[in-house]
């Protein structure tokens, strides 16, 4: 049994077929039955970049035998009888069916389901190959799995039936993302619940016991002490790495994501620019009333992703201006932390007061970062339409400003008020300064502006300014929102333990 995560390893299907047929002299139908009962395909995103297409001329040049096998699989799948992978299939089953036989005369469907995409040059659709060559296909979140069935592979769902496609919600391990990266919080939870650590780490439902202690002033004080320690640890790390002192008394606003337009780091940095300009215009007496904020970005850009690299450059340029401005730098500072890694995330997440998850709706398949942020810190996950999966805790209390606040999620359209709010406010106060030499280097602003104005979902549904409590009064609010976050983890998310169990029972042995 082998699980293919995304389409990168899909060629293994063809390689196993080659080994069985060419080297082991296994008959084709028998070999295909073995192959389609060996592989399982996990799709992680609905974005085209993860649904690879490889040029046929390149494949024919580098792997001529593999390309020949792909042609054979495609012909048999589309037009002839072949052993196909279905969920109730055993090794001896042969399914006498083909796309052309099941959908006679539907040439468009035949073209969509083909492994070869016509064009110049022709392309091998690795995602289609992964579906055809796998026993089961699963998404990694309920909404994402629905999109996989309805948007990416609807023809294959119609062909194979719903049973081949399932959902296994991805999870994280609390042993790493709570106990290891935030030992102070882990110890506090252990003492508060009066349970051995191994007990609640293996059964997160035990965290419901925290609800009985939310209003305990002593627990609030200890909770705040743990948060303070984590923030000071991050401040020391930044000072050592970048030579800049960070005010641990400020609110830490963190976005750690792979750099991508749909993850909307651009939207976030526009918000930072807007905040900077707003503070800059204030009188000294007015600035003293502003909540201090330190904004952190971290993440990596794909080597060939030009816009993502320009976004990093923009963030760095904005940070250079903001951090050197004596009028504002004690109220707002900005950092892009280089060389993002899991080790860096283990420092950033426990220290965050706000964790930004603002991807456009329907694009964020997984919830690793959001789950990690929920269990490892005390605060909130800001609103994003992609976060609707875990917006509510069944029967739980409601705390304003937290993910449990039952605000509706309007559709991301140009007619919605938040769209106009974003453009009116951000175009005037955020985008315009992008053309100024102070914020950008040559060649940075034009591509970013063109991308934003041509791809409006980067800006829609921008979170309105919410009146978060000042840090001096945040202990109780932080503890309450953290409790909500923990309960969201209990009710809406899987740990890796649960996810692996579901894979074993519902996919691998089904």
* Annotation: binding site for a ubiquinone: 462
Residue 128 has pLDDT above 90, yes or no: yes
**160-198 per-position pLDDT tens digit:** 998 899 887 777 778 888 889 999 999 999 999 999 999
pLDDT of 400 reads 44
Backbone φ, ψ for residue 316 (5° rounding): -65, -40
Distance in angstroms (rounded) separating the CA atoms of residues 421 and 399: 25
Distance in angstroms (rounded) separating the CA atoms of residues 320 and 173: 37
User: 493: Cβ–Cβ under 8 A, 6 or more apart, which residues?
Assistant: 169, 171, 367, 371, 374, 390
Fold match flag (2-167 vs 172-406+469-497): yes
- Tally of CA atoms within 13 A in the half-sphere of 145 that contains its CB: 19
Maximum pairwise Cα distance, the chain: 84
- Could you tell me the sign of the dihedral formed by the alpha carbons of 420, 424, 425, 429, in that order? positive
Residue 124 has pLDDT above 80, yes or no: yes
The architecture that CATH gives domain 2-167 is 3-Layer(aba) Sandwich (3.40)
* Annotation: binding site: 462
Residue 419 has pLDDT above 70, yes or no: no
Q: What is the mean pLDDT of the chain?
A: 77
Closest CA to 292 of 261, 323, 333: 333
pLDDT of 446 reads 58
**334-387 per-position pLDDT tens digit:** 999 999 999 999 999 999 988 888 877 656 555 555 445 554 544 444 433 334
Which is higher by pLDDT, 440 or 53?
53
- Could you tell me the sign of the dihedral formed by the alpha carbons of 219, 221, 222, 228, in that order? positive
CA distances from 447 to 149, 308, 310, 434, 491 (A): 34, 11, 8, 11, 42
Map residue 308 onto helix, strand or coil. helix
Q: Where are the domains of the chain?
A: 2-167, 172-406+469-497
The full DSSP string for 162-216 is GGGEEE---EE-HIIIIIIT-HHHHHHHHHHHTS-HHHHHH-GGGGGGGGGGTT-
pLDDT of 463 reads 43
* pTM, entire model: 0.72
The correct answer on CATH 3.60.150.10 for the domain covering 172-406+469-497 is no
* Residue range 208-223: mean pLDDT, rounded: 84
């Amino acid at each position: 049994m082998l699980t293919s995560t995304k389409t990168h390893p899909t060629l293994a299907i063809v390689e196993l077929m080659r080994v069985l047929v060419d080297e082991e002299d296994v008959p084709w139908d028998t070999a295909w039955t073995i192959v389609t009962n060996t592989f399982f395909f996990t799709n992680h995103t609905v974005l085209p970049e993860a649904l690879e297409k490889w040029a046929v001329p390149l494949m024919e040049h580098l792997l001529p035998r593999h390309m020949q096998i792909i042609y054979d699989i495609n012909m048999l799948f589309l037009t002839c009888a072949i052993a196909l992978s279905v969920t109730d299939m055993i090794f001896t089953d042969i399914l006498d069916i083909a796309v052309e036989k099941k959908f006679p005369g539907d040439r468009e469907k035949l073209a969509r389901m083909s492994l070869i995409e016509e064009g110049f040059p022709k392309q091998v659709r690795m995602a289609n190959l992964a579906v055809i060559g796998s026993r089961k296909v699963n998404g990694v979140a309920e909404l994402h799995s629905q999109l996989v069935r309805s948007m990416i592979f609807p023809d294959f769902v119609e062909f194979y039936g719903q049973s081949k496609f399932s959902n296994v919600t991805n999870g994280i391990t609390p042993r790493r993302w709570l106990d290891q990266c935030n030992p102070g919080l882990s110890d506090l939870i252990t003492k508060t619940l009066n349970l051995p650590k191994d007990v609640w780490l293996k059964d997160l439902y035990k965290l419901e016991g925290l609800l009985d202690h939310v209003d305990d002033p002593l627990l609030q004080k200890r909770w705040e002490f743990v948060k303070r320690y984590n923030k000071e640890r991050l401040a020391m790390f930044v000072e050592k790495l970048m030579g800049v002192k960070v005010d641990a008394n400020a609110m830490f606003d963190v976005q750690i994501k792979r750099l991508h337009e749909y993850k909307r780091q651009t939207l976030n940095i526009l918000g930072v620019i807007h905040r900077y300009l707003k503070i800059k215009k204030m009188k000294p007496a007015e600035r003293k009333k502003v909540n201090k904020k330190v904004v952190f970005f971290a993440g990596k850009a794909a080597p060939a992703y030009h816009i993502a690299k320009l976004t990093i450059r923009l963030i760095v340029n904005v940070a250079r201006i903001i951090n050197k401005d004596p009028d504002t730098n004690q109220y707002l500072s900005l950092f892009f932390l280089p060389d993002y890694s899991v080790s860096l995330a283990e420092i950033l997440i426990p220290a965050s007061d706000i964790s930004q998850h603002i991807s456009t709706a329907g694009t964020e398949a997984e919830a690793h970062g959001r789950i990690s942020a929920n269990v490892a810190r005390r605060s909130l996950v800001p609103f994003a339409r992609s976060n609707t999966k875990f917006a509510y805790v069944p029967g739980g209390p409601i705390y304003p400003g937290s993910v449990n606040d039952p605000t509706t999620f309007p559709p991301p359209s140009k007619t919605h008020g938040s769209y106009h709010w974003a453009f009116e406010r951000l175009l005037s106060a955020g985008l315009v300064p992008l053309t100024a030499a102070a914020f950008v280097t040559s060649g940075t602003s034009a591509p970013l502006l063109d991308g934003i104005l041509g791809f409006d979902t980067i800006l829609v549904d921008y979170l309105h300014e919410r009146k978060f409590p000042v840090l001096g009064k945040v202990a109780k609010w932080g503890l309450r929102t953290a409790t909500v976050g923990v309960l969201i983890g209990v009710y809406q998310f899987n740990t890796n333990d649960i996810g692996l169990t579901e894979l074993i029972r519902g996919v691998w042995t089904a």
